[in-house]
Amino acid sequence: MNETKRIEITWPSIGITVNAELDQRNRALAQCLWDALPYRSLQGHALVAGYHLYHVAPAHSLLHTEAEYRVDRRTVPDGTLFCSRLQHLGIKYGELTEPMTATPIGQVAEQDLEALAQAGREVWHSVYSTKTPVIAEVRRAGEPGGHDLPRLPIGDPQLNQLATEVHAETQRIWLDPPQELLDLHQGRIPSGAGSYETVLTTLLFVNGETRPLGYSCYGGLVRAALDGMPMPWLRQMTRQLAHTPAEFLGYCGLDRLWDFTQRLLAGLERLDSHEDFAAIMAHMALYCNCLGGWNLHLFPWQAGDHLRRTQALT
């Protein structure tokens, strides 16, 4: 079916709304986003690549849905929407420098590009300076907003209970910063992590471990399961990939993440289907990606304001 799919992306706290249309370049990915609507999410901003907005979309299917069409995102028009296996909805609003292959799913209306650029500037100010969260709401055009995180059932009772708790915790921190991260960013670190009482070093390492745990470990395990990797290999890969970073993050203060991980690892032998394996890993991925989003928002990027890129001499 080629029915028109129009959406609205609004940032109520800054009073900006843009209209966009999903297109046929990556129909399956666009459908993943459409099916997840409406939702709200913490709005983030690229910190390296340039003028680019992104946030975590609560759609488990984005972890594994194949793309049909790819572009160098530097080359496409401002206002291009992307979905990715990092569970992101991204929006280009200006120059990008990173040569990353991306999967476009739609386009912001031309008459809203100026408003989009203003939203980008406001979000950058939020992420880099003020730390006042900006929440994005994405909805079908003309329909009410709302929010609900998807819940995937699992056959094993103990692991289903774990998924219930991970889902509830993800729901709890989706739009409000986790107290564990607030404590960490305010220097309350019970373990004493941070040599010579430093905090910035610990924050840097926490950020560096949390993002790949969601993006690469748990997201990759979902894809491996749905690609048919044998269950013994999946269990072994989970143990190899998840234990060490989660243990370190627990030491740094993310106790819930470490508790969830230990219970997951203890129950791996009870997982006997690829569907159940993918479901529990998808819940862990969304939880870690939510933590990663808050890490990026709370991190004191302005501490490096005196360090600026220099232009090459010609």
The whole-model pTM stands at 0.96
* Cα(106)–Cα(114) distance, integer angstroms: 17
* Cα(299)–Cα(53) distance, integer angstroms: 17
Using alpha carbons, select from 304, 197, 209 the residue that is nearest to residue 257.
Answer: 209
Q: Cβ(242)–Cβ(264) under 8 Å?
A: yes
pLDDT at position 109: 98
Structure tokens at 217: 């470990």
Residue 308 DSSP SS3: coil
* Cα(285)–Cα(274) distance, integer angstroms: 16
Sorted by where each starts, the structural domains of the chain and their CATH numbers stand as 5-140 (2.40.100.20), 157-301 (no CATH)
Query: Residue 217 CA to chain centroid, in angstroms?
Result: 13
pLDDT at position 90: 98
For each of the chain's 314 residues, which pLDDT tens digit applies? 457 899 999 999 999 999 999 999 999 999 999 999 999 999 999 999 999 999 999 999 999 999 999 999 999 999 999 999 999 999 999 999 999 899 999 999 999 999 999 999 999 999 999 999 999 999 999 999 999 999 999 999 999 999 999 999 999 999 999 999 999 999 999 999 999 999 999 999 999 999 999 999 999 999 999 999 999 999 999 999 999 999 999 999 999 999 999 999 999 999 999 999 999 999 999 999 999 999 999 999 999 899 988 876 55
Residue 130 to residues 42, 80, 122, 125, 300, Cα–Cα distance (Å) = 15, 27, 10, 6, 10
Q: Residue 183 CB: number of other CB atoms within 10 A?
A: 13
Phi/psi of residue 109, each to 5°?
A: -60, 140
Query: What are 41's strand-pairing partners?
Result: 136
pLDDT at position 314: 52
Structure tokens at 259: 């508790």
pLDDT at position 4: 87
